[in-house]
Amino acid sequence: MVIKLFEFQQAISDWATTKKQAAVFADCGLGKTLIQLDWLRQLGGGLIVAPLAVAQQTKDEARKLGLGCAYVRSQGEVDGAGIYVTNYEMLHAFNPSLWDAVVLDESSILKSVDGKTRAYLIEHWAQVPNRLCCTATPAPNDMTEFGNHSEFLGVMPRAQMLAMFFVHDDDGWRLKGHAREAFYEWLASWAVMFQLPEQLGFAGDGFHLPPITSEQVTIPIDPAGFAAATGRLFVNGLSGIEGRLAARRQSLSGRVDKAVQIIQQSGEPWIVWCGLNDEGRQLAQRIHGSALVEGSQPLDEKVRQIGRFLDHSAPVLITKVKVAGFGLNLQQCHNVMFLGISDSYEAYYQAIRRCWRYGQESPVRVVIVTSDLEGVVVDNIRRKESEHQGAINAMVERAAYYGAFELNGESKPTKEADRKIDRGDGWQIHQGDCIEELSTMPESSVDFSVFSPPFLSLYSYSDDDRDLGNSHTDDDFRAMYWQVAEGLFRVIKQGRLVAVHCAQVSATLNHDGFIGIKDFRGMLIAIMGEVGFLYHGDITIDKNPQAQAIRTHAKALLFKQLTKDASWLRPGLADYILIFRKPGEPEHVIHPDISNEEWITWAHPVWYGLRESDTLNTAEARTERDEKHIAPLQLGVIERSIRLWSNPGETVLSPFMGIGSEGYVALQQNRRFVGIELKPEYYEVAKKNLVRALAERTQLAFTLDTFQQAN
């Protein structure tokens, strides 16, 4: 009888056909094989590359759909257009240029196969016009799997993905706090990830997992024998890999005895996952007619032995996870045994999901047989299991949310723009996008502007698409900053100045393809000139290279490079104040409130003596998702700029207000202030700082007045 795809399966197949290069990350039993077969049907045929022994199951699934599917071992066996399936081990015998469509079944193998095979897949098979990857939901902490898929499908190189959405710390790669939604939205543009059809907006009848139980059986080890085997006087734990191996060997016969007892008492089929060859061989000798699958066996023998279990000729399948733990549908069996266990939760998870999957009708029983010294290993696996389930549920929920819009061809709801204006004595601040807010301000209404723009750093402070720092490329940033500069040119009075704080930006191998320096300073100068400003001068702000080395760990500043390879050494990066002038004569002459002695210092092309810690307190503005410490401009730099290039009573503007540092100084120096800030948390802290600046100015004036009267 020919079956039809479920509605959600057909929708995914249709979507993937339209995309041409796509991935399906779905729980076991949700019909990934049916989806890939229908995908190839719509494209007129192609090649499915599958793990060991999955080929026969793929052929069986094709028959259910009324499709033909032939197993082939080389390009020479391909006879015209159609659907073909082969194993990963045979892939080098095929010519990718002769195929229009290829499916990587259980594509998580991209991270498990040897480096040469993975590189071969990405380098050679990525030229096939239509490419589909199908696998179970990737582990939340395994960014390599997402990166490999993205690279194979031609979406984005792995290195670029990591640079865009992730940070690297002592625990490895993790999503930037503000990049979470952007990452899942990007992921949904090329991959469907879900655990239940309901998550994508479809009916989920019949897709429910049966109950599962897990029990641990421990075999005692003779302490004296274990101590002698490990060369120790006392038994005080496993003591690393060698200790675990010794514990497994010391308990081998006892564990096999217990396994035989459990299997024979049940009278049902079992899958037994081993770690040592001796475990599998001894058990196979004791269980009559069992199917033993080892890595050293020829491919035909592996397939034959697995086939014996699938057709019920063999009551027990004995193998290793790395040999048969991927792709196989073994739901005819609901008893799983681990004759010993490793620290790999992924291996444990994959092994169980061969049976515990949608379509399994019986409760699944898992038995873990270990020595009594290996309790810590089992506890570690169960801890990882709990953490994994919570993390994967959260990840799939967000990915499926965006995936539902993709499958239905709908646009996701746009985020409502948070916009408001607050005013006080001498100040007015706008919450919103600076490009939009500048367009609402009166022309030629600002006397001086000083600010520090974002420095090409993705998702460091917000997840808002309007944040200049979230420009995916330098060209995107350039286009957005050009609009800011154009708005500044309109609101600044003729003949008046704009002071822009910046620093050069480090280029990274992941993001830029090289290690070096990008001329961010030059980019800003060029853009400001393009909109009409005149480049008026610049000031270098002295920075402490040792503090930079401690903060950034830049190899170019480390002492070890002196002896390792001095060609990597470079000076520390200074900050700059770039000064731009709007053409024309000013309406009012600036009479700066500085002394000659101050001017002697401030006229120097390098400003020394400015404390890097002379900033407003940033703690109350940070959120748990902030990936970088807020780095407001030093108050001393702002004060010098405002006193030099504006008069008391004039209006100072900051289009990137942050926590209000420029406004704080402007109000203290008896100027008026207009600020714009996109992020609500920063905006609220800025408002508090402006109110505080006025209170401190009033208190200072009162103190001076009291002092003068007293004298």
Interval 268-307: pLDDT, tens? 999 999 989 999 999 999 999 999 999 889 888 988 999 9
User: 7-200 domain in CATH 3.40.50.10810?
Assistant: yes
**Residue pair 334/308 in contact by the 8 Å Cβ criterion:** no
pLDDT tens per residue across span 48-65: 999 877 888 899 999 999
Q: What is the pTM assigned to this prediction?
A: 0.72
Helix (H) or strand (E) holding 551: helix 545-552
Q: What DSSP character marks residue 426?
A: T
- Mean residue pLDDT across the chain: 86
406 or 62: which carries more pLDDT confidence? 62
β-bridge pairing 427-431 and 651-654: unpaired
pLDDT value of residue 179: 81
β-bridge pairing 420-424 and 316-319: unpaired
Helix (H) or strand (E) holding 684: helix 680-710
Check pLDDT > 50 for residue 234: no
Check pLDDT > 60 for residue 228: no
What is the domain partition of the chain in residue ranges? 7-200, 212-404, 420-503+526-532+584-603+610-710
Q: Which fold has domain 212-404?
A: Rossmann fold (3.40.50)
User: 420-503+526-532+584-603+610-710 domain in CATH 3.30.70.1400?
Assistant: no
Check pLDDT > 50 for residue 320: yes
Tell me the Ramachandran region of residue 592: left when phi exceeds 0, alpha when psi lies from -120 to 50, beta otherwise: beta
Binned at pLDDT 50, 70 and 90, residue 230 comes out as low
**Which amino acid, residue 107?**
S
What mean pLDDT is predicted for residues 406-431? 82
146 or 314: which carries more pLDDT confidence? 314
Give the HSE-up count for residue 9: Cα atoms under 13 Å, Cβ half-sphere.
Answer: 20
Check pLDDT > 90 for residue 659: yes
The CA-based dihedral angle spanning residues 340, 342, 343, 344, taken in that order and rounded to the nearest 10 degrees:
-120
pLDDT value of residue 386: 74
β-bridge pairing 291-292 and 316-319: parallel
pLDDT tens per residue across span 568-581: 888 888 999 999 99
Place of tokens 């002379």: 614
Helix (H) or strand (E) holding 55: helix 54-64
d(CA 362, CA 360) in angstroms, rounded, equals 6
Check pLDDT > 80 for residue 533: yes
Within 10 Å of residue 95's Cβ, how many Cβ atoms?
A: 11
Of 464, 460, 458, 461, the closest CA to residue 414 belongs to 464
**Backbone angles phi and psi of 426, in degrees to 5:** 90, 10
d(CA 301, CA 279) in angstroms, rounded, equals 19
Check pLDDT > 70 for residue 552: no
d(CA 635, CA 617) in angstroms, rounded, equals 11
Domains 212-404 and 420-503+526-532+584-603+610-710 alike in fold: yes
pLDDT value of residue 233: 43
Check pLDDT > 80 for residue 483: yes
Check pLDDT > 70 for residue 609: yes
pLDDT tens per residue across span 246-263: 777 888 899 999 999 999
| Separation in Å, CA 317 to CA 18, 132, 312, 690 | 41, 31, 10, 73
**Backbone angles phi and psi of 189, in degrees to 5:** -75, -15
pLDDT value of residue 509: 74
**297-311, 633-647, 652-666: which range is least confident on average?**
297-311
What mean pLDDT is predicted for residues 673-686? 93
**387-391, 406-410, 590-594, 604-608: which range is least confident on average?**
387-391
d(CA 469, CA 88) in angstroms, rounded, equals 42
Report the DSSP beta bridge partners of residue 272.
318, 337
Within 10 Å of residue 331's Cβ, how many Cβ atoms?
A: 20
**Residue pair 636/614 in contact by the 8 Å Cβ criterion:** yes
Place of tokens 């005080």: 236
pLDDT value of residue 121: 85
Report the DSSP beta bridge partners of residue 174.
167
Check pLDDT > 50 for residue 235: no
What mean pLDDT is predicted for residues 455-461? 68
β-bridge pairing 166-169 and 172-175: antiparallel
Percent of the chain whose predicted confidence (pLDDT) is above 70: 88
Check pLDDT > 70 for residue 196: yes
pLDDT value of residue 413: 67
Dihedral sign, Cα of residue 534, residue 540, residue 545, residue 551: negative
d(CA 209, CA 357) in angstroms, rounded, equals 6
What mean pLDDT is predicted for residues 361-366? 94
Under 8 Å CB-to-CB from 483, ≥6 apart: which residues?
435
SS3 587: coil
Angle at 49 between CA 333 and CA 112, to 5 degrees: 75
Angle at 140 between CA 139 and CA 145, to 5 degrees: 55
Which of 17-21, 146-150, 199-203, 232-236 is predicted most confidently?
Answer: 17-21
